[in-house]
Chains A and B, each alone.
Chain A
Amino acid sequence: MQKFFQDAVEFTPILLEGAWATILVTLGSLVLSTLLGLIWALMRISGNRWLDRVAIVFINFIRGVPIIVQLFYIYFVMPDFGVSLTAMQAAIIGLGIAYSAYQAENFRAGIEAIDHGQVEAAQSIGMGWFLTMRRVILPQAFRIVLPPYGNTMIMMLKDSSQASTITVAELALQGKLIAASTFKNTTVFTLVAVFYLVMCIPLILLVARLEKANSGGRR
Chain B
Amino acid sequence: MIELRDVHKSYGPLEVIKGIDATVNKGEVVCLIGPSGSGKSTILRCINGLESYQKGTIEFDGIRVDRDHRSIVEVRTHVSMVFQRFNLFPHRTVLENVIEGPVWVKKEPRAEARDRGLALLERVGLAEKASAHPGQLSGGQQQRVAIARALAMQPKAILFDEPTSALDPELVGEVLAVMRGLAEEHMTMMVVTHEIAFARDVADRVLFLDGGRIVEEGRADEVLVRPQNVRTQDFLRRVIDHV
Contacts and interface: CB of A to CB of B under 8 A. Distances in A.
Interface string A96-136: 00000000000000000001011011111111100100011
Given A126-B76, A127-B105, A139-B91, A218 B133 contact: yes
A219 interface: yes
A135 B104 contact: yes
Given A117-B83, A117-B85, A218-B133, A126 B105 contact: yes
Interface residues of A, number: 21
Contact of A125 (B133, B136, B153): B153
Contact of A126 (B77, B93, B132, B136): B77
A124 B85 contact: no
B89 interface: yes
Nearest to A217: B133
A140 interface: yes
A118 B89 CA distance: 7
A125 B90 contact: no
A208 B135 CA distance: 22
Interface string B67-97: 0000001101100110101011111010000
Contacts of B135: 217-219
B136 A217 contact: yes
Nearest to A120: B50
Contact of B101 (A118, A125, A140, A217): A125
Contacts of B210: none
A219 B133 CA distance: 9
A118 B104 contact: no
Contacts of B150: 124
Interface string B94-109: 0000001100111000
Nearest to B78: A126
B48 interface: yes
B57 to A, nearest CB: 21
B87 A125 contact: no
Contacts of A143: 91
Nearest to B70: A128
B40 interface: no
A120 B133 contact: no
B8 interface: no
A137 to B, nearest CB: 10
B87 A140 contact: no
Which of A115, A117, A124, A143 has the largest count of B CB atoms less than 10 A from its CB? A124
B144 interface: no
A136 B100 CA distance: 10
B9 interface: no
B149 interface: yes
Given A126-B101, A217-B135, A121 B76 contact: no
A164 to B, nearest CB: 42
A122 to B, nearest CB: 8
Contact of B87 (A118, A128, A135): A118
Given A131-B104, A135-B100, A217-B133, A140 B85 contact: no
B83 A121 contact: yes
Which of B74, B77, B105 has the largest count of A CB atoms less than 10 A from its CB? B105
B214 to A, nearest CB: 24
Given A140-B90, A219-B135, A125 B105 contact: yes
A128 B105 CA distance: 9
A117 B105 contact: no
Interface string A6-43: 00000000000000000000000000000000000000
22 contacts: A118-B89, A120-B50, A120-B83, A123-B50, A124-B80, A124-B81, A124-B150, A125-B100, A125-B101, A125-B105, A125-B153, A126-B74, A126-B76, A126-B101, A127-B101, A135-B100, A135-B104, A136-B89, A140-B90, A140-B91, A217-B93, A217-B136
Given A126-B73, A126-B76, 4 more contacts: A117-B87, A125-B77, A131-B105, A218-B90
